[in-house]
Every structure is written in C-alpha cells, then in structure tokens.
Amino acid sequence: MKSILLILVAVATLTCTAGAQEKAAVQTSKAGPFHPGESITFKIKLNEPMPKGSRFDLRVSPLGVDEEVALGSGTPVAGSSTEFTITTKLPEDAYPGEWHISVVWFFLPGAGWTHRTLSTNDLRFTVEGKSYPIPSAADVSVTK
C-alpha cells in the first residue's frame, strides 16, 4: 500500500513539474503604461530550444477590441535558441486599455501555416490614450 501511495505522489509531482515547463514566459521591457506609437520590447523565454529553421509569431491585442498586432519571432539573445527579444512600436492608433498576448503561433521548418500554438504566461500591459468609438453593429439589406 505504501509503495502505491509513493508511486502516486511521484507521478503527481512529475506531472505538475512537466506542466509548469510547457509555457513560454513573456515579459515587457517596462511595466508601462505605454502609449500609441511608443516603442515596446518583449522578452520571450521558451521552455525548449527552438529547432533550427523554425519560427514563432507573437501577436498582441487589446482586450476590448479585436486588433491583433503581429510581432514575429524577434532576435535570439546572444545566440540562444530559447531566449528572444522583440522590439516594435505600437500602432499610432493603438486602442487604449489593457492588452494581452492573443496567440503565439509556432511554425516548424518549411511550414507555411500551422495550428500549433505556444501557451504563455498571462502577460498584460496597459496602453494609455484617447478612446474612440468603434462600430459594433450594421444593418444590411439587399438591392436589385
């Protein structure tokens, strides 16, 4: 009985440890707030080395609207295949509010499209600015 309990504890520990290592960690260069048109740097640390010829596409968006900004794979840190930085400028008309990582697509060498994504930590940052109205409905009709 004790050996079964010990095995269960060991399996649970290994499962929790493996699950914790499956995420890519992402952080920004500063806590913010950021402003439209301002430079922002993301630091990415992958849980495993990226295979030669593969790439990822980090995308961020505001929580309030669906405005995805594609940032690409960035630059390896000192030749690393697990640590990268992406420096970009926020769009001049970036919608203000809380932003987050919307998705990180992962492409193996030679792939043109993928359904594979990398899970990440729940990074959020704030963009300050003047909000503006965005259409949310439309009446559509058919004419001859």
- Domain containing 37 — which CATH number? 2.60.40.1930
Q: What is the pLDDT of residues 39-92, one digit of tens each?
A: 999 999 999 999 999 999 999 999 988 788 999 888 899 889 999 999 999 999
| Residue 11 domain-assigned (yes or no) | no
Number of neighbouring beta carbons within 10 Å of residue 132? 8
In a domain, residue 114? The reply is yes
What are the φ/ψ torsions at residue 132 (nearest 5 degrees)? -140, 155
> Which residues lie below 8 Å from residue 104, measured CB to CB, with a gap of 6+?
24, 26, 56, 57, 58, 59, 117, 118, 120
How many structural domains is the chain composed of? 1
In a domain, 96, yes or no: yes
CB 97 within 8 A of CB 130: no
Residue 32 has a pLDDT of: 79
Q: Is residue 20 part of a domain?
A: no
Question: Is 2 within the bounds of a domain?
Answer: no
- Determine if residue 81 is left, alpha or beta; phi over 0 gives left, psi from -120 to 50 gives alpha, anything else beta: alpha
Q: Assess whether pLDDT exceeds 80 at residue 30.
A: no
Percent of the chain with pLDDT over 90: 58
Q: How is 34-46 classified by DSSP, letter by letter?
A: B-TT-EEEEEEE-
Question: Is there a domain that residue 13 lies in?
Answer: no
In 3D, which of 69, 53, 60, 143 has the Cα closest to residue 102?
A: 60
74 lies in some domain = yes
Whether residue 139 lies inside any domain: the answer is no
pTM greater than 0.85 (yes/no): no
Which residue range forms the structural domain that includes residue 70?
A: 26-127
Look up residue 50 and give its amino acid. M
140 SS3 class = coil
